[in-house]
Amino acid sequence: MIKTVQDEVYNRLKTNIGFDKSKKHLKWVGSKNPGKVLHHLTGSYTGIKTSDYSVIPLTPEEHEKAERDKSNFAIENLHILIKILIERIKELEK
């Protein structure tokens, strides 16, 4: 159920981001963030995670917060995902 503007934005992102899988990208993000949990910022549909390109590294405490309030957490941390993707693109362009 959509309750807030954040829910609306989150649901639009989640619906349109797709289900791309990339073990290489997950490994790359994980190697840059040892000890962190990789979290799909746009969640999942019935247990199937959305695109692996939407992962961000979190502490266990941040991951708990993300699971409690997915919409707000995703909107508040979207800038982290964008920074990761820009860093990855720059590295690949070298």
Express each pLDDT in 29-59 by its tens digit: 999 999 999 999 998 887 899 999 999 999 9
Range of the domain at 30: 5-93
Please tell me the total count of domains within the chain. 1
CA distance 15 to 24: 23
Q: According to the model, what pLDDT value does residue 34 have?
A: 97
Which two three-digit tokens encode residue 72?
Answer: 């707000």
State the average pLDDT over residues 14-21: 93
Considering only residues 3 and 50, tell me which one the structure prediction assigns the higher pLDDT: 50
Which two three-digit tokens encode residue 15?
Answer: 């619906």
* CA–centroid distance for 53 within its chain: 7
